[in-house]
Amino acid sequence: MARRAKIYEGKAKILYEGPEPGTVVQYFKDDATAFNAEKKEVIEGKGVLNNRLSEFFMSGLNNIGVPTHFIKRLNMREQLVRNCEIIPLEVVVRNYAAGSISKRLGIEEGTQLPRPVVEYYYKDDSLGDPIVSEEHIAAFNWASSQDMDDILGLALRVNDFLSGVMFSVGIKLVDFKIEIGRFFEGEYQRLLIADEISPDSCRLWDIKSGEKLDKDVFRRDLGSLTDAYTEVANRLGLLPKTNSQIKPTLVR
């Protein structure tokens, strides 16, 4: 197949023109970045694992009626997704304190929050993705108040789904980030979950040992990132039993 035109290259993914109008091919790179790309590394196999894991979470969400951009996985590193306009917000849902909320509010990492806390960050690397309030979002017209109601509903449904799936394999969903896309069906706008859902954008802790199975392994130099992601994929039954510890080979 001829290589399609590149639309956009981000830190962890590349978007190419899709085969049909309204579609895009999302390619998962092996690049890992943290601290607004101050720390960078190529981690062989990460893209393959994230492509498979994101497929698993997004198709699970589609199946329970939470709309996502995911259409189908094409190969080890690529998936076909719906083209949509990304709302310039990172939507973070937290069940336990960790990372920036622990620093900002002085809450010890691992403290269970009284209820899921939803936060919004303005997507702008040059500003370091600052946290923003709904006041900012409305004033600068990044999303309407109807959008914000829908986004909150989607974020909490994703949280319930992901928490349940992870809990069933002995993993605590501490927090995660999603991005929301708009797409138009005739004149009607719909919102859907876009980008990716993978251990790059979640905090996942083993329930028993507390071991970290997410990008904090890279951020905090805690060991092998692919081992951690392979462990998550294995527990979810996404890799063959045999050589899965050696190479992230896919099961169809």
CB-closest chain residue to ligand UDP:
99
Stretch that binds ligand UDP, among 93-101, 134-142, 163-171, 233-241 (CB under 6 A): 93-101
Interface residue with ligand UDP among 58, 92, 162, 191 (CB under 6 A) is: 92
Can residue 203 be called a binding residue for ligand UDP (CB under 6 A)?
yes
Interface residue with ligand UDP among 55, 147, 175, 179 (CB under 6 A) is: 175
Q: How many CA atoms lie within 13 A of 45 on its CB side?
A: 16
Interface residue with ligand UDP among 95, 163, 201, 226 (CB under 6 A) is: 201
Binding mask 102-141 for ligand UDP (x = CB under 6 A): ---------------------------x------------
Shortest Å distance, C-beta 196 to ligand UDP: 9
Helix, strand, coil % over all residues of the chain, rounded to 5: 30, 35, 35
Any long-range contacts for 236-239 (C-beta under 8 Å, 24+ apart)? 236/53, 236/56, 236/165, 236/169, 238/52, 238/53, 238/56
**What CA–CA distance (Å, rounded) separates 192 from 190?**
7
Can residue 52 be called a binding residue for ligand UDP (CB under 6 A)?
no
Instruction: Say if residues 27 and 15 touch (Cβ distance below 8 Å).
Output: yes
Q: Of 77 and 177, which CB lies nearer to ligand UDP in the complex structure?
A: 177
| 246 CB burial (10 A radius; 0-12, 13-18, 19+) | exposed
Can residue 195 be called a binding residue for ligand UDP (CB under 6 A)?
no
Which uninterrupted H or E stretch holds 241? none
